[in-house]
Structure 1
Amino acid sequence: MNNESILIVEDEEKIQRLLELELEYEGYQVVKASDGIEALEAYRSGKWDLILLDVMLPGLSGIELLRRIRAKDSYTPVILLTAKGSVEDKVSGLDLGANDYITKPFQIEELLARIRAVLRMRATAPAAEPEAEEWLTAGDLKLNEKTREVMRGEDEIELTPKEYDLLLYLLKNKRQVLNRDQILEAVWGYDYFGDTNIVDVYVRYVRKKLDYNYETPLIHTVRGVGYVLKDAK
């Protein structure tokens, strides 16, 4: 009897139900997700022996989801479910670290055989664990430099590249009062010749996103000097 856990990421209800029934019959522990966002949350909240990942998903594509998984986890096996003739998806998926793929429509016996083969390879591979995530934190705010993820509480914060750079610099200098010239040079570069008010503008942008659902601000103005990022109290 199998006891491996498998995350099924598939938005077509009939295929999802078929996979669930067949895998549970084989003894696997199954959890389902119907879109990319739901799948990302399920991936983060569990520990999986294998992920069956459809490429065409609403919310977040299977390829983008695989990219986010592989940015911090090279260990969990992933089998892609791809459309017939989608060579680009297959190549992209394999380049990003997918272990295998199967083309729709497929025979369930072939998929089960591929699952068994991938799980055997995983079992005989040298012991390894997913790379530890390294987060910069300030209270309920955390930022992962490797994956460029920014979270506040349970909320993922979407930042532009320059907003991210600004927040990263403030976090790396947490509890230090930074004047506008320091921030300007670190984030925009010493050869920036634009308006220095750009610092105030971007601090306002970042604050709005960080504090949207929260009462306690993280970035504080030090009047006449600049800004400081401190743990929320």
Structure 2
Amino acid sequence: MKKLLIIEDDTDIGDMLDINLRDEGYSVDIATDGLTGMKRLQAQSYDLLVLDLMLPGLDGLEICRQVRQMPHYQPIIIISAKSAEMQRVLGLELGADDYLSKPFSVPELIARIRALFRRIDALQRELQNQTGVLVCDDLRIDPVAHDVKLGGQTITLTAKEFELLLFFAKQPGKVFTRMALLDQVWGYSHDGYEHTVNSHINRLRSKIERNSAKPQFIQTVWGVGYKFTENGKE
């Protein structure tokens, strides 16, 4: 049984989600403030975090930031008021996997949860079937160990940065639009969130490129999108 943590200060929403998600067969814990929710995340492992942004004690953005600094990957779905557009964007850029605007329908949230679990399960199966290390020039990517080395030095990446790099490296020379990357790496393709891709690529370049102004590996195809080099050379 998958275990979910909901951090939501609106008790009506929390109770509604608790009832409906338990009916779907999930185990559910609820925290009504950010500090309590963060303590639970530090004390035990959850399969999914459903996170409100406007919380007392510790806001959702800070929780998202702290969760992404933890050693294990924690899937996150943000639920946020429509008026907090920039906060939702920041949440996605901090590593949230999906978002829903309030007010939202419970069936849609359940569908998003199922879709997220399907993507995670598919990625895990794919990684289990992979045994080879991807090598491009002096960049080495180990899909099983989630390890990246550049010139023999280990590069520390977030889970989403690693997933993005692996996606590129497995398809060298193929050009992807920002919307295609949102759809295939993030699992959604909403207009207006292409800058989420830009932010992640900029951070990834700052870690794997010797000169991010002249990228060797992840290259910009002007007017189209991005591609991973075919030979590791500029």
Pick the TM interval, shorter chain: 0.5 to 0.7
Separation in structure 2 between the aligned mates of residue 130 and residue 97 of structure 1, nearest angstrom: 17
Structure 2 unpaired stretches of 5+ = 128-143, 148-234
SS in 2 for 1:125: helix
Q: Over residues 35-59 of structure 1, what are the superposed CA-to-partner deviations in whole Å (9 max), with x where a residue is unaligned?
A: 1100011101111110000000000
Q: 1:110/1:129 Cα in 2 relative to 1: closer, same or farther (>3 Å)?
A: farther
Equivalent positions of 1:1-233 (< 5 A) are 3-73=1-71, 75-126=73-124
Deviation at 1:85, TM superposition (A): 3.0
Name the residue aligned to 1:195. Answer: none
State the 1:97 CA deviation. Answer: 0.3
Structure 1 CA distance for aligned equivalents of residues 113 and 76 of structure 2:
9
Distance 1:39 1:119 in 2: 21
Runs of 4+ in structure 1 deviating by more than 2 angstroms, as ranges, are 126-131
TM-score (norm 1): 0.53
Q: Deviations over 1:4-34 (max 9, x none)?
A: 1000100000000000000000000111111
- TM-score if structure 2 supplies the norm length? 0.52
Rg (Cα) greater in structure: 1
Aligned-residue RMSD, C-alpha: 1.9
Separation of aligned partners in 2, 1:44 and 1:123: 23
State percent identity of aligned pairs.
Answer: 40
Taking the aligned partners of 1:50 and 1:77, their CA distance within structure 2 comes to 5
Task: Give the distance between the partners of 1:125 and 1:9, measured in 2 at CA.
Answer: 26
- Does the aligned pair in 2 maintain the 1:74–1:97 contact within 8 Å? no
3-state SS of the aligned residue for 2:82? coil
